[in-house]
Amino acid sequence: MGCGVEIQTERPNDIGYAPKSALEKEFIICQRCFRLKHYNEIQDVSLTDDDFLKILNGIGQTDGLVVKVVDIFDFNGSWLPGLHRFAGGNNVILVGNKADLLPKSVKKNKLIHWMKKSAKDLGLKPVDVFLMSAHKGQGIKEVAEAIEHYRFGKDVYVVGCTNVGKSTFINAIIKEFTGEKDVITTSQYPGTTLDMIDVPLDNGASLYDTPGIINHHQMAHYVDKRDLKLISPKKEIKPKIYQLNEGQTLFFGGLARLDYVSGGRKSLTCYVSNELLIHRTKLEKADALYENQLGELLQPPRPEQLSEFPELVAHEFTIKHDKTDIVFSGLGWVTVNEPGTKVVAYAPKGVGVFVRESLI
């Protein structure tokens, strides 16, 4: 139950600790899961990336079906590069989760086509590709049926970066088939699942929820835990359209910045959390505004975080194709419809910034 860790009652500061009294309960969870569940509070853990990698490496040695879950809102950031190393020769099903965040007008088939093409470009050939919303229970049955179809009676490994919604997905499957609710701990904090969670399937095989690899390029690592809610959208994103003239700048809170350098008057569409404030200003005033207003008008970061908040790094792009997204990993993206535009995109040092063929 909970995060999959082995329960111990001796060392309160180590992972898996639960007080002895917890052992009498029907469903035993560790203290960390208990706090997360009841107080929405996170305790830092002592598992390293190497520990996570060791667990995942075991998958390559086994014979089973790999279900790779990505966050469609942060497709590239949550991609988990090098999956072929973990997958070995096993089949992979690719599932884009959090489809509920995209505007309803977006055609599902177009998105699936886009995912297939992007997967191929990134070196992965999945046997099938799906879109779902684990949170809303959309597309779960379809994915569950595909798993049954492609696993040929073998084990199933659900893999992905932290926070893509693996645990929510497995909970949704368990609920669909057993009626049991919230068996696995989920939260908005990256890295909730600590060890393989084994869900028995009806023929003696298992479905495993694996701990996710922490994606260090994610914006989530640079914002205060309290602000995660603000940058991770919870609802359908309402795109915001800006008619920009050359020499104008958009700030996304204080986390990212886009300078529109040249290309004539154009409309740019922003896909970010509805709660994140976008502030427009003149390029010539942008540096001073950032210096004076970071942590104030331009939040997040919070004022008390300024000393450790990384500086923004500039990435220059000349848009060469129709319909291009400028992506800020984990924060969202800005779509430019026509080529011939020059922009400079800024994000905290370490956060991925890149351009791609438009998702929408």
Indicate the Cα dihedral angle 304, 306, 310, 313, nearest 10°.
140
Q: Does 163 bind ligand GDP (CB under 6 A)?
A: yes
Q: What single-letter DSSP state applies at residue 211?
A: P
User: For the chain, what is the radius of gyration of the CA atoms?
Assistant: 21
Cα separation, 55 vs 47, whole angstroms: 11
Among residues 68 and 151, whose Cβ is nearest to ligand GDP?
68
Q: Which residues contact 211 (CB under 8 A, 6 or more apart)?
A: 4, 47, 52, 55, 56, 162, 191, 193, 194, 195, 196
The reply on whether position 134 binds ligand GDP by CB under 6 A is yes
Q: Which of 101, 272, 286, 353 binds ligand GDP (CB under 6 A)?
A: 101
At 111, which amino acid appears?
L
- Closest residue to ligand GDP, judged by C-beta, is 165
Q: Does 96 bind ligand GDP (CB under 6 A)?
A: no
Mapping DSSP onto H, E and C, the string for 104-168 reads: CCCCHHHHHHHHHHHHHHCCCCCCEEEECECCCCECHHHHHHHHHHHHCCCEEEEECECCCCHHH
Q: Select from 90, 118, 162, 341 the one that contacts ligand GDP (CB under 6 A).
A: 162
Angle, vertex CA 301, rays to CA 39 and CA 336, nearest 5: 110
For ligand GDP, which is the closer residue by CB, 211 or 263? 211
Q: Which of 64, 77, 126, 160 binds ligand GDP (CB under 6 A)?
A: 160
The binding track of 225-244 with respect to ligand GDP, each residue x by CB under 6 A or -, is ---------x----------
Alpha-carbon span 278 to 133, nearest angstrom: 27
Taking CB under 6 A as the criterion, the residue among 4, 165, 301, 330 binding ligand GDP is 165
One residue of 76, 90, 118, 193 binding ligand GDP per CB under 6 A: 193
- Alpha helices by DSSP H, listed for 17-101, are 31-39, 49-60, 83-87
Which residue of 68, 98, 151, 217 would you call a contact of ligand GDP, by CB under 6 A? 98
Which CB sits closer to ligand GDP, 165 or 330? 165
- Residue 168 contacts ligand GDP per CB under 6 A: yes
Stretch that binds ligand GDP, among 9-17, 60-68, 94-102, 336-344 (CB under 6 A): 94-102
Stretch touching ligand GDP by CB under 6 A, among 37-45, 112-120, 164-172, 263-271: 164-172
Q: Which residue has the tokens 């969670």?
A: 197
Q: Which of residues 208-227 bind ligand GDP (CB under 6 A)?
A: 212
Query: For residue 7, what is the DSSP state?
Result: P
Site for ligand GDP in 272-311 (CB under 6 A): none
First-last CA distance in the chain: 38
Side-chain half-sphere CA neighbours of 98 within 13 A = 23
Q: Rounded to the nearest whole angstrom, what is the least distance from the CB of residue 132 to ligand GDP in the complex?
A: 7
Residue 219: CA count within 13 A, CB half-sphere: 30
Residue 72 found at the interface with ligand GDP (CB under 6 A)? no
Q: Which range in 4-12, 129-137, 199-207, 334-342 contacts ligand GDP by CB under 6 A?
A: 129-137
When asked if residue 97 is in the footprint of ligand GDP (CB under 6 A), the reply is yes
Inter-residue contact 19 to 5 (CB < 8 Å): no
Q: Which is nearer to ligand GDP, 18 or 184 (CB)?
A: 184
Rule CB under 6 A: say whether 164 interacts with ligand GDP.
Answer: yes
Kindly determine how many residues on this chain lie close enough to bind ligand GDP according to the rule CB under 6 A: 22
- CB of 36 vs ligand GDP, minimal distance in Å: 10
Please give the distance of CA 312 from its chain centroid, rounded to a whole number: 21
Is residue 207 within the footprint of ligand GDP (CB under 6 A)? no
User: What is the contact surface with ligand GDP in residues (CB under 6 A)?
Assistant: 97-98, 100-101, 133-135, 160, 162-168, 186-188, 192-193, 212, 234
